[in-house]
Amino acid sequence: MKKVLCLALALCLLFAVLSGCKKTDNEESYFTVAIAQDLDDTLDPHLVVAAGTKEVMFNVFEGLLKPTPEGNLVPAVCSSYTVDGTKYTFTLRDGIKFHNGRPVTAEDVVYSITRCRDGGYVSAFSNISEVKGEGNTVTITLKEPMVEFAAYLTCAIIPRDYADQATAPIGTGPYKFVSRSAQENVILQAFDDYWGAKPKIRNIRLRIIENGDSLLMSLKSGAVDMASHLTSTQVKGLGDGFDIVQGNMNLVQALYLNNVRAPFDDIRVRQALSYAIDKHEIINHVFDGYGSPLGSSMYPAFSKYFLPELTDYYKTDVQKARDLLKEAGYENLSFRITVPSNYQPHMDTATVIVEQLKRAGINASIEPVEWETWVSRVYSGRDFETTVVGFDASTMTARALLERFGSANGKNFIGYKSEKYDELLKKALAEYDDAKQTEYFKAMERDLTENAANVYIQDLADLVAVRKGVSGVRFYPIYVLDLSGLEYEGK
């Protein structure tokens, strides 16, 4: 009797397992993209803080304007706009709809902009004195002129009469949000009434895979079709079957120096470090040549502001480094490099830096810390000697990268102080003319390099693996994952 029961149970189990193998038609048509973290933050586009959530929700939301891969801003929710001093006038796009099918009205735009201003979600919006909607035009009046104001208008436009934005968001983007299973996946579907070019791939499943090794297995087994932010080692292990597309992470990785603490308050010491550290060797050795060398706090995706000649301003020269240190009276220099240990690229970079500094007679040691400790002690507390991290731009403006080094800026955690820099920053922010402002920003980059504020290393490569036969990966100067351009080749 017992045996029979056992057998029956075993058969039941077998069926249970086999039924899992059957693929429904629906499931086959999903294109699966791996993401490294769950979207466990709120999904409300105005409240969200997690970079990983913003990165994928770029496909769901749009502002009056939206960025292009080239770094320009083009009309999205509006079809055109005019600027007259402090007055911005937007004409809404004809027939544009939210994902729930309701047409976008001027009231929705006024609601979205006002919500961000009153809630303090977009700090630049505190400069808005009035937002008015009439028919299909919206006018925004500023208190003071602000040349880069347009960059903030990528702020999402959402319906004014919808309460579930945090869990079931509704926007105007090329993909609409379908569902989310915690720790598992998020489903997106192409929005049929999208105003622009309709996405070629209809159903997208964003699968959450936190572990790098399981990600690699899932790619190889075919469970995942695309993954971004891979390391060069991971890419090597992938083998055939995938196209590797290289973009940039759009961040400034550097050995950031505490400019107010001895010996780093001495420009000769900072320059010596710049001469001793070979960024090209770091890129070749650790990152297999993937990565763009940098010489200042600006990355190449901002082509308008990027100054390639600064990259090799300090050409690696160990003897010169030794001489400078001797002159400054810091022979046998030794210091600590504090590194957030959860970021392997930064840890690996620091490992090579320690080795390179040894050649110049400098004794550096690595102090691994957890991310929270890094934020509270290094960034907020400014209690550190040097640190290897990367900084990105929160908006598509040079200001986002450069303003932080103004001596009065609260984010100036390295304590950089240059009168010339402050002067230029003031001029740049007050300038209405784009070309002149660009020149000021460029002069600020030069100032950072000449004073060797930090030892600039690189903009890390963003390696994306896509299953062969799929094309259309696009990179942006900001941290987003655009899925709307993907398509199956030959279809």
> Residues in the site for other proteins, rule: CB under 8 A?
212-213, 216, 231, 233-234, 236-237, 285-286, 341-342, 344, 347-348, 350-352, 354-355, 358, 365-370, 373
User: H helices of 257-302, where?
Assistant: 267-276, 279-287
CB of 217 to other proteins, least distance (A): 10
Give the integer Cα–Cα distance in Å for 481 and 54.
9
CB of 343 to other proteins, least distance (A): 10
Give the integer Cα–Cα distance in Å for 169 and 57.
9
Give the integer Cα–Cα distance in Å for 209 and 379.
29
CB of 464 to other proteins, least distance (A): 19
Q: In the beta sheet, which residues pair with residue 184?
A: none
CB of 49 to other proteins, least distance (A): 24
Residue 437's φ and ψ, nearest 5 degrees, are -60, -40
Contact in structure between 465 and 474 (CB atoms under 8 Å): no
CB of 387 to other proteins, least distance (A): 14
Q: Which is nearer to other proteins, 234 or 246 (CB)?
A: 234
Burial of 203 (0-12, 13-18, 19+ CB in 10 A): middle
Q: Which is nearer to other proteins, 373 or 471 (CB)?
A: 373
Angle at 391 between CA 367 and CA 448, to 5 degrees: 95
Residue 296's φ and ψ, nearest 5 degrees, are -155, 180
Residue 287's φ and ψ, nearest 5 degrees, are -110, 15
Q: Which is nearer to other proteins, 87 or 358 (CB)?
A: 358
Give the integer Cα–Cα distance in Å for 474 and 70.
10
Q: Which is nearer to other proteins, 82 or 344 (CB)?
A: 344
- Tallying the residues shown for the chain, one arrives at 491
Give the integer Cα–Cα distance in Å for 452 and 51.
29
Q: Which is nearer to other proteins, 358 or 426 (CB)?
A: 358
Q: Which is nearer to other proteins, 369 or 378 (CB)?
A: 369
Q: Which is nearer to other proteins, 457 or 478 (CB)?
A: 457
Contact in structure between 156 and 171 (CB atoms under 8 Å): yes
CB of 240 to other proteins, least distance (A): 14
Q: Which is nearer to other proteins, 156 or 352 (CB)?
A: 352
Give the integer Cα–Cα distance in Å for 320 and 34.
47
CB of 369 to other proteins, least distance (A): 6
The string over 372-400, giving b where at least 16 C-beta atoms fall within 10 Å of a residue's C-beta and e elsewhere, is eebeeebbeeeebbbbbbbbbbebbbbbb
Q: Which is nearer to other proteins, 59 or 356 (CB)?
A: 356
Q: Which is nearer to other proteins, 239 or 410 (CB)?
A: 239
CB of 319 to other proteins, least distance (A): 19
CB of 135 to other proteins, least distance (A): 58
Written as six digits, the tokens of 384 are 């550190």
CB of 331 to other proteins, least distance (A): 21
Burial of 417 (0-12, 13-18, 19+ CB in 10 A): middle
